[in-house]
């Protein structure tokens, strides 16, 4: 990879590309979210939502927000409330298909973990979907089988968490 890789907070001009990446990733599943719902996750916690650029191109994004441990935001419902929680919920991470296999998702995960610790979060949680739990296991996340998930996350969805 010869282009510079940078991670930064989301800007208004990034949303068309974020919507395109989200649609490409989830269009064939029930996981795709309405634009208002996706944007609301970033609006309640802009400092924990990032884009990853390769050169000048948005190659991926990560959306996370404070949310009580063992709970999760409703899929495709706009967030209205900023939760006061020491848990940071990683709601979505997508890397565009041409950029996969280069360790870029791991870069986003490391950035989130570093920022979470610096900002005083105690845990990070997520819902692994579409068979991604193996990836999250390698990053220290562990399944929390006591959390029931709705069917629209998919039959293989797993709520996972780790210490920040």
What CATH number does the domain containing 129 carry? 3.40.630.30
pLDDT at 2: 63
pLDDT at site 76: 85
pTM above the 0.85 mark? yes
Of 63, 81, 53, residue with least CA distance to 22:
63
pLDDT for the residue numbered 87: 98
Q: How confident is the model at residue 102 (pLDDT cuts 50, 70, 90)?
A: very high
pLDDT above 80 (res 159): yes
Question: How many domains, in total, are found in the chain?
Answer: 1
List residues bridging with 66 in a β-sheet.
88
Residue 135 confidence (pLDDT) above 70: yes
Range of the domain at 103: 5-163
CB atoms within 10 A of CB 67: 23
Find the mean pLDDT for residues 103-120.
97
Separation of alpha carbons 131 and 84, rounded Å: 30
**In the predicted structure, residue 5 carries a pLDDT above the cut 80:** yes
In the chain, what percentage of residues exceed pLDDT 70? 99
CA 141 to chain centre: 14
pLDDT number for residue 3: 83
Residue 28, pLDDT above cutoff 90: no
Residue 125 in this model has a pLDDT that exceeds 70 = yes
Determine the Cα–Cα distance for residues 125 and 164; give it in Å rounded to an integer. 9
pLDDT at res. 1: 52
């Amino acid at each position: 990879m010869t282009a510079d890789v940078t991670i930064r907070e989301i800007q208004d001009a990034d949303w068309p590309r974020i919507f395109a990446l989200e649609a490409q990733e989830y269009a064939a599943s029930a996981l795709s979210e309405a634009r208002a719902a996706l944007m609301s996750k970033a609006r309640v916690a802009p400092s924990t939502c990032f884009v990853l650029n390769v050169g000048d191109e948005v190659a991926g994004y990560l959306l996370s927000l404070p949310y009580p441990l063992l709970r999760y935001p409703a899929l495709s419902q706009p967030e209205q409330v900023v939760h006061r929680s020491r848990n940071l919920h990683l709601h979505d991470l997508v890397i565009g298909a041409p950029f996969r296999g280069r360790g870029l998702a791991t870069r986003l995960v490391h950035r989130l973990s570093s920022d979470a610790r610096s900002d005083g979060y105690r845990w990070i949680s997520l819902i692994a979907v579409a068979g991604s739990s193996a990836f999250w296991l390698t990053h220290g996340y562990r399944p929390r089988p006591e959390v029931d998930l709705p069917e629209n996350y998919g039959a293989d969805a797993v709520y996972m968490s780790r210490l920040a």
